[in-house]
Amino acid sequence: MKRGVLRAFGIGTLALGIAIQFLPNGRHHTNPLMRVEPSWDSARTRELFMRACADCHSNETKWPWYSHVAPVSWFVQMHVDVGRAHLNLSRWSADMASDAGEVSSRIRRGDMPLRSYLLAHPEARLTASEKAELDRGLTATFRASATSTDFQSE
């Protein structure tokens, strides 16, 4: 009796796992065209940003294999959508310069990159000195863009 219940549960779980693969949510993995990037204060700032932030805060998201498997795909898509909505450096505008303080404080507090992201992307883990370097570089990048008169628009 107990064995039959376990078997039925296992088959049901497998069937559910297969069925959810056909749900469209979390499947529109797109990388819109790059429009405008900020004028980075240095190549190092861009490198650190691309390593630790770009998957969620730019149009240059790398979609690993697991991002195509539900329910993980739903989680990944949601994080990218939310990240791009809050700050998308591929759609840079001078108005975003006002976000510099919030970005800096999130980096300093360790809120970004998200812990869940770091579990799957250990290469995005920044040392304390790299966090400080990224913080200074992004602040300089945002400040320079805010005061630039030769700013590119979308």
Phi then psi for 148, rounded to 5 degrees? -70, 135
For tokens 């949601």, name the residue.
78
Q: Where are the domains of the chain?
A: 2-147
pTM beyond 0.85 = no
Of 58-62, 82-86, 126-130, 148-152, the one with minimum mean pLDDT is 148-152
How many other CB atoms sit within 10 Å of the CB of residue 28? 9
Q: Above pLDDT 90, what percent of the chain?
A: 42
For tokens 């149009």, name the residue.
59
pLDDT 10s digits, 122-135: 999 999 999 999 99
pLDDT 10s digits, 103-114: 888 998 989 999
Half-sphere exposure of residue 136, counting CA atoms within 13 Å on the CB side?
8
Residue with the bigger pLDDT between 105 and 146: it is 105
Residue with the bigger pLDDT between 153 and 17: it is 17
Residue 23 DSSP one-character state: -
| Pairwise CA distance, residues 34 & 89, whole Å | 9
